[in-house]
Structure 1
Amino acid sequence: MNRLAVIALVALGFVAQASAEPMAFNIDPNHSRIWFDVNHQGYSIMRGMFGDFGGTFNFDADDPTASSLDIMIEAASVDMFHEGLNDHLKRDDFFGVESNPQLHFVSTGVEVVGENHYIVHGDLTILGQTNPISLDVMQNQLGTDRSGADKVGFSATANLDRTDYGMNFGAPVIGADVSINIQIEATHGGDGGMGMGMGMGQ
């Protein structure tokens, strides 16, 4: 192979790498969780979760700033482990699930702040009101699971003021500040993988 052909092949390789698109991952609901914590009258920190959510994100391990995230949360899946609390949370004092059935987060940009450490900026819609929010994200394992699917995991935290979304009931006696903790596992494909080490299994 002559020198010109080698140079051409190398150049094509760089072009292909540069034009590679982020991989589309699907959130694994069996191994993902969204928790929230809120102060209750200064006596305790009450924890709740959302049991029904899903979405996709496009992740580029080589250029995380090209990644994007879109998550839909079913408001009626809110659970604070008490039937009476759950019923109240679904009414108009809080989530008003009949008229506002979903919470929606869509990213607007990703900032790299360290090794496997990102700030994901985006818009969060609750009760029909949209405000900017930032997620502090750590990338965990990146590899393949036992089925051969590419797999990645993330841990994220965020904070919001629920009154910014018109959820004013009980504030500030019932805390307006809400802490959010997100644990996500997501998969892409099922034949082969990225060849980046052992995954954590299914």
Structure 2
Amino acid sequence: MAALPAFGIVYISSQLALSRDIPLTGMLIASAIGIFSCPLVGWLSDRIGQKSLYLSGAGFCVLFAFPFFLLLDSKSTLIIWCSMILGYNLGPTMMFAVQPTLFTRMFGTKVRYTGLSFAYQFSAIVGGLSPLIASSLLALGGGKPWYVALFLFAVSVLSFVCVWLIEPTDEQETASYRYIREQSHEN
């Protein structure tokens, strides 16, 4: 999902024959807004939980997969910028803001490093192939983005379902929680 903006730049400049400045400026604006939206989502996650915000970001990606390309196909600079801003900040940024805490809480302290390392390294390998997969799907679709949108949709659904199935971690006892509990009982 994070590779989509990079692919969007290629799609806009090669398939829509627009200047690369349009998507690059759109990503610059989206990233600048992300500097503020990411900590805001992190702050919000402390109040309502990481899982619900991650699901919101993944759900947005599910719903926005096809409209994203429809908006890009408008060839309107303002619409392209707005779609990149929305697509980046309400999707991947919302998920990335809470991902470290959410994933950390999935594993007990004895296997946390191994679990997180495997999750991050595996996703980096698979995610790194996303632009190649998207380019292949674009070629397969004759330059039309609908196979790419379907791929994005499928990956977003998979992400949503996997996080949905995570067991609640509020009761999970971590070493720090155990220490705090023990200290409060001593006083």
Higher helix share: 2
Query: With structure 1 as the length reference, what TM-score do the two structures score?
Result: 0.21
Query: Which is higher, the Rg of structure 1 or of structure 2?
Result: 1
Query: With structure 2 as the length reference, what TM-score do the two structures score?
Result: 0.22
Greater length-normalized contact order (CA 8 Å, ≥ 6 residues apart) = 2
Higher strand share: 1
